[in-house]
Amino acid sequence: MYKYPLFLFIFALILATLNLGFAAQPKTSIKKKHLKIHGVQKTKCTSCDDNSVSKPLIVLDAGHGGNDEGAKVHGLVEKKITLRTTLLIKKALETHGYKVHLTRSKDSFVSLQKRVNIANQIDAILFLSIHYNSSKNNTAKGIEIFYNDSSELWRNKASRRLASCVLNQMVQETGASSRGVKKGNFFVIRETQMPSVLIEVGFMTCPEERAVIKKKEYQEKIAQGIAKGVDRYLKA
Ligand code: ZN
């Protein structure tokens, strides 16, 4: 008599294990599928408890950090201003429904190789590196965005289009002058495997622009412009 309930119990246990196996399957495939198609779809996955699975993942790279201070002009330090701006961009992108990963979130040194590895290993769909510019000519000002064209054709084209979408929206949002989309051979945009750009937000060496770029309100506009540009790029 007692053998029957035991049999039922084992049967139920096998069923439960099988069910778990099946339930886990769609989670992985949905995530992979979304990332493969560049995360443009933002369909919610009803079988997942965490909606972030379906959010496109973007890597933001705050230039410099730690011993590498970047440019230093009249007390303004590039590594600090890139991090502040990057944190605002993260917030703006999250508001637009994207998931953001930072290569650094504090004042620490991260090698260029490590920055690239982070983006490549987590299957990010886009990579944006944030920098501030400097020039011997202190009248030089405005925004310029670099992309690299030494990898496969699709990535070269995608990076150029991303640069152009972001630049247009940044200029619209801030009223800053555009110095255009340019080809650049920077390590982080060359070695990453997804569409990548390096944004030179403004010139620390131009007194007029320096006064503006250090203000939080201006950096907020920069962040909004970049988030809108990314949105335009992904939804086009
Ligand atoms: Zn820099």
Is pLDDT of 47 > 50?
no
Angle made by CA atoms 119, 228, 63, in degrees to the nearest 5: 40
pLDDT at 15 over 80: no
CA of 95 to the centre of ligand 1 (A): 26
CA distance 21 to 87: 39
Q: Which pLDDT score is estimated for 178?
A: 98
Residue whose entry in the numeric block shows the structure tokens 């201003």: 81
What's the pLDDT score for residue 53? Answer: 55
Tell me, in angstroms, the distance from the centre of ligand 1 to residue 96's CA: 26
**186-234 residue pLDDT tens:** 999 999 999 999 999 999 999 999 999 999 999 999 999 999 999 999 9
191 CA distance to ligand 1 centroid (A)? 17
Spacing, Cα 2 to ligand 1 middle (Å) = 74
User: Would you state the torsion angle of the CA atoms of residues 79, 82, 88, 93, taken in this order, to the nearest 10 degrees?
Assistant: -130
* 84 CA → ligand 1 middle, Å: 14
pLDDT tens-digit profile of 125-180?
Answer: 999 999 999 999 999 999 999 999 999 999 999 999 999 999 999 999 999 999 99
Q: Which residue has the tokens 């953001």?
A: 100
